Chain A
């Protein structure tokens, strides 16, 4: 059975059973080529996918999914989803009524190229690293491409599909100089295979990891912090988004609850989510409930304008649906960002403090419910407007909302980072944060 056939089968059966049902199918293709020591070390190719349903019975919602597309498995999915719905005591779940959303192709022929050229990208990236004698070991260099077709349909009339994807160059390697060793990574994503340049990715790695060699301890203290875009994007993608999710607000987990219209950040800070961004890596024509995409200003000049909503959270809070419904076929309804970005500012001129080049341990050291974070950081000490030396073995700690209100300057250029969602940020200067080191 194909995914389309499985969707039709489920919707037909649901109508027979009088069940309100929303079907989401995802069909994924993956190709990855990994090089090491001048040879291809691993190639992976795959087609994979599944179909997941959200069922509503008298306002109660249940979920089930399968990767096995047989009538038996699909019948099991319907039965489980119905049973799971009946476990709910609260009513209030519903499926939005919708119509034909069309079939969209956001990828085109961008990934078309002979396999040999793709292998070569991975080999060239490794070769580009090896020219520098400070590169001691290459853990991996990788070319990968991912393509997804999402198919959505519901008994409420919603019907649509879109195709998207990207190609990626990634490396992870160890550089050394004297006694100092640093492991770093670098990646580049594009929707066009030919836009990837291994030479550029290699140079970026050598620059970004090489500058950390010979790091000294950082003395414990409170300093001005200069977050490079990659570091700030990670903080924003985890803690920032968590606080802005209407689902978390409704569940009593967000410190921003009740603060619509209030100042929650520095007045130079504006945060936007835009699924309609042309060429955006997370652009899409509609969300997981079939709500058409639109641009949303979440924080405008420091003032909280709206939370990110799906149809259910919007109805519960009496707010406008911002079209942020998200669901994977294995998952449950939530809200997720698309192309989330901080509007660039007038520029940052580091004077004295710590340039934070990267953050580690976000899954454990950042608590989005309390808003507090204490994270391992990599960085550079700046003195008299110049980079003095790299620093290591330290943490940066604070409260995320306090950090937002203490932003004193923003860089002029937006850089996109795909590590915690697709997040764009300029360089961000924060008046003062706690650093723990030697």
Chain B
């Protein structure tokens, strides 16, 4: 996207104030979004986002600047500003003199679309959304259906003063359906939202009518559901997006963002037993076409498969460049950012609990009274105390080992390290689900996943 000589000059100039490291991140996004409500296009929008971020390290101190002006003058001005911010303009260091000889790494297209976004017109997309809507209308109680399609194309260049040069191209597509049902239970919702690093073959992987049907049935279930019970009880958490419990209760506590500052309750505990034997937890940025996959991270390092916890023992953290400098841990290709307006930090990619060997049916057997959280919404965590929460989108009562009537409106809360130790059995039906994760470096696509599993006790925040 940018000329090598210019990049070399910007990085060189940026280091004249004595910076130990300089990195330039350049990106161009093309995004499209369309939203339909009851079969009518409410909004369609298209956009170009284009900018660069320059990051300088003075030891572990970071200076970051960004701009939309990618002309030589614009970029050199950012570099001047950053040197001045550090108060070292005029100081001439040997660092950065002379051009850089870049080692080029270009993405192989491991997650490249099979059906490019340009292969079909806008009408084609509308037809697929209308199929999703028709699929969602599973009964007369469905009064409103909203369908959305998001398409993101991102070109990235990362170059740094160590001579790294990497170019990546990331294409992501997501379909999102919200169904609203009306009846004696008031207005209730059901949602389904598959997303992958793919082009329009998303519609082959997830036929729109089926996606719509899933949202519609969930809305109907919630309409006949009673308010969820309140208090501590055993909970079976469903597979797929159910993995959000680990994302909150465990994942965020293993990012160097909190580990390096010792604000995670799991800092300095490598090699220790932190979970039950049946728990193996993996963060994998290489899953082909995963929603959170990319060939390189946003610091230009190849992504990898990182085993975080193996049979309950803490094996690794998720480490970015800054975190590595502070802790000495090896970087794991986990440096990510929403866009050029954020400096990268260590973040999750596709994170999941590995399959266990308990058959799914066995999980329910010993439960006299509990909750089956079949589908979950988002959550949140405070890494310093480990307190987390996440919302149940579709839940059922478990009575005498059987899944019975639906309940709605439950939030599950607990302290991560305690809950993790209460996982007593893991099934073998691993699935993944896409979500957006918000943290210091912005909002990012991630996958969470797990097989069905049983937690012996967790607080269920219902009303009944």
- Chain A interface residues (CB < 8 Å from chain B): 36, 39-50, 52, 61-69, 73, 76-77, 80-81, 83-85, 87-90, 115, 136-140, 173-174, 181-183, 220, 251-253, 255, 330-333, 360-361, 363-365, 367, 369-376, 392-398, 434-438
Contact = CB atoms under 8 A, between A and B. Distances in A.
Interface in B203-235: 222, 227-228, 230-232
Interface stretch (B15-23, B46-54, B167-175, B360-368): B46-54
Contact of B230 (A77, A376, A434): A434
A174 B85 contact: no
B230 A255 contact: no
Contact of B232 (A65, A397, A438): A438
Contacts of B379: 361, 364
> Which of B40, B41, B81, B143 lies at the interface centre, i.e. has the most chain A CB atoms within 10 A of its CB?
B41
Given A63-B45, A139-B263, A393-B413, A40 B61 contact: yes
Interface residues of B, number: 79
Nearest to A61: B43
A66 B50 CA distance: 8
Contacts of B41: 87-90
Interface string B365-392: 0000000000001111011111111110
Interface in B39-78: 40-51, 60-69
B341 A48 contact: yes
Contacts of A139: 258, 261, 263, 384
B144 A252 contact: yes
B34 A364 contact: no
Given A182-B385, A361-B390, A73 B46 contact: no
B186 to A, nearest CB: 6
Contacts of B61: 39-42
Contacts of A43: 62-64, 82, 85-86
Interface of B: 28, 34, 37, 40-51, 60-69, 81-82, 85-86, 122, 126, 143-144, 146, 180, 186-189, 222, 227-228, 230-232, 258, 261-263, 265, 341, 343, 377-380, 382-391, 408-411, 413-415, 459-464
Nearest to A333: B43
A87 B410 CA distance: 39
A44 B64 contact: yes
B263 A436 contact: no
Contact of B67 (A40, A47, A83, A174): A47
Given A48-B67, A375-B411, 20 more contacts: A41-B61, A42-B64, A43-B63, A44-B64, A50-B68, A64-B45, A81-B46, A87-B41, A137-B262, A139-B263, A140-B261, A181-B385, A251-B144, A253-B144, A253-B180, A330-B49, A365-B411, A393-B413, A397-B411, A397-B461
Given A63-B44, A67-B48, A68-B50, A361 B67 contact: no
